[in-house]
Amino acid sequence: LVDDQTVRTRVNELFRCIRLEGINSYTTDDAYLDKVTELFARIVAQLGPEFSYYVHKVSKAIRPDLDPIREDSFAGEVDRRWRAKLETSGLRDKTLTLTVIHRPPPKSLLPFLSRSAPDRLKEETRKRLQRLGEAVNVFLSGLTELKPRLLSAGSGELVGFLGALNTGTELPLYPANTYGFLSFNVANTRVTFHGDHFELSEGVVGHRYGKSFTIGEYSEGTSCTMFDMLNLPVDMIVTQSFTPINSNLMAGRIKRQKRQMQASQDAALSLMEALDIAADDLEAKRQSFGEHHMVVTLFCDTLEELQTLSAEIVNAAATEGVKMIGERVAAKAHYLSRASAVTNRNFADFAAFHRTQLGKPAALTPWGRVITYLPTPEQSAYRFSYHEQGSPDKEPTSGHTLIMGRPGSGKSVLSAFLMTQARRAGARIFVFDYRLGMEMAVRPRFFTALTSRSHRHRPIASRKWCARTRRPPIRPCGTGGISHRFLCPPMMAAICTSACSNGPRTAAMAGSSGRALRTLFHSKAM
């Protein structure tokens, strides 16, 4: 550790890790996704070849921390079954981490002759830390909408993230001391290689099996959503690395490849045209090139599960035109890395920062409770809340929730379910349901059914929109009819009776609520 946020490698590289919240590719407009991808690609191109980049997507299990509804009622039974369903759904979350690496500058003989080794290393480290800090600040300011933050060793996140790359499970880890190798704190398990897979044992994560895949053949084109289908219900790490190549070296490689194809009379004319376009973009500074390497690593509890999910990885990549092959770990694996030259835009598409947000935690809601978890199409979860972001210690924020949909799409069922889950926060619920669509949920014992007197004179079949005024029957037609004052007595009785069990403060609040209701319901009918 150089400082609380910077790590020095054994080859004198300095890096810092940035944790990103990400954006939801399923609910966000494609134009915005492309905008974020292009922004990341431009930053990579502008910083130059002195930096390298890693992007890690670590998949982990979500354990819903819902407080149980401790009551023998309809809401309690629904909650028990729903929590049991969530525990067996295999919900997953991802952590997105961007690692910015500053590579050591080319060696020079002049500093070696003018200063001693400790002073030279100290001064060089200071300059490199300043340069690394500038690059990190560019990402922090440019990717503000993704809510970036630096990982620190003091919080246990930095070392915990490095440890997760070995085990697939991210846990808080702390360095034993400031000086020394972090590998002694990170490597806390035994790894045994068995040809096409490896085995983890004698560590904090228990006994597990793993397998790594890499790209054998790239697709003809890339898009920012091409690897979003890698959402398997298992611990998984997707690693993307990108090391920029000097423009002059890359231009020479393109020219050499063209001469070889022309000398051999290669029939791939489309590839010749692609090389011409790449050379033009490179010379015009519209894009840069770099060595890209992608690795997908799975972690499973059994070999049978590992083989099944391995086939799903290969099939999912094949749908996007990418050929994934299994890695065989050998003694000289670092000589066998399959790095390929791609553009900065290709790398930005591969490493798209896509992740499903989990919603607001309990501390950022006015009620101080998570109402419920809702599964998402990408096998993640979302914390539902009626309110906007707020605090239990401050004035409640707006809590207007609108559910829209076609007839028969399940609006009433969803509303009834959310009402049962709201009992987790001790909420009292008043239902205005003139069509009785939620009668099944209202009649059970956890609600007090209030039937207005106007409904006794209006059959259910005739409770339709009034043809003359286009108003619902909850507000009767005509000027001489019954006004909406009929709602006041039952609501007043429900609010101002047995609910006042928290002392004088609650009674005073109920009194003020009663006065507000009288003002509301005795106003002139519209």
Q: What is the pLDDT along the chain (526 residues), one digit of tens a residue?
A: 888 899 998 888 999 999 999 898 888 898 999 999 999 999 999 898 899 999 999 988 888 888 888 878 888 888 999 999 998 888 888 899 999 999 887 765 545 555 567 777 888 888 999 999 999 999 999 999 999 999 999 898 999 899 888 888 888 888 887 777 888 888 878 888 887 888 888 877 788 899 989 888 888 888 888 888 887 778 899 999 999 988 888 888 888 888 888 888 887 778 888 888 888 888 887 888 999 999 999 998 889 989 888 888 889 888 888 888 887 665 555 545 667 888 999 999 999 899 988 888 888 888 888 899 999 888 889 999 888 888 888 888 888 888 888 888 888 889 889 988 988 888 888 787 777 777 777 776 545 444 544 444 443 333 333 344 444 444 444 444 444 554 555 555 555 554 444 433 334 444 444 454 454 444 433 3
Q: Please report where in the chains the tokens 């791609």 appear, as a residue.
A: 342
Name the pairing type of β-strands 235-244 and 51-61.
antiparallel
| Phi, then psi, of 244 in degrees rounded to 5 | -60, 145
Q: List C-alpha distances in Å: 43 to 47, 148, 250, 290.
A: 6, 15, 19, 14
Instruction: List the structure tokens of 426.
Output: 């001790």
- Read off the pLDDT of residues 313-363 as tens digits, 9 standing for 90 and up: 889 888 888 888 887 665 555 545 667 888 999 999 999 899 988 888 888
Helix (H) or strand (E) holding 305: helix 303-318
> Domain spans of the chain?
7-62+73-245+288-350
Question: What fold is seen in the domain 7-62+73-245+288-350?
Answer: Vanillyl-alcohol Oxidase; Chain A, domain 3 (3.40.462)
Mean of the per-residue pLDDT values of the chain: 79
Per-residue model confidence (pLDDT) at position 460: 36
Contact yes or no for 1/116 (Cβ under 8 A): no
How many helices (H) and strands (E) the chain has is answered by 14, 14
Which sign does the torsion angle of CA 168, 174, 175, 176 carry? negative
* 292: DSSP letter: E
Q: Which residues contact 187 (CB under 8 A, 6 or more apart)?
A: 166
Contact yes or no for 311/256 (Cβ under 8 A): no
Name the pairing type of β-strands 235-244 and 149-150.
unpaired
Q: At what angle do helices 488-495 and 504-521 cross, to 10 degrees?
A: 170
Instruction: List the structure tokens of 144.
Output: 């503000």
Q: How far is C-alpha 390 from the chain's CA centre?
A: 21
| 3 dihedral zone (left: phi>0; alpha: psi -120 to 50; beta) | beta
User: What is d(CA 513, CA 259) in angstroms, rounded to the nearest whole number?
Assistant: 84
Q: Please report where in the chains the tokens 């959503």 appear, as a residue.
A: 225
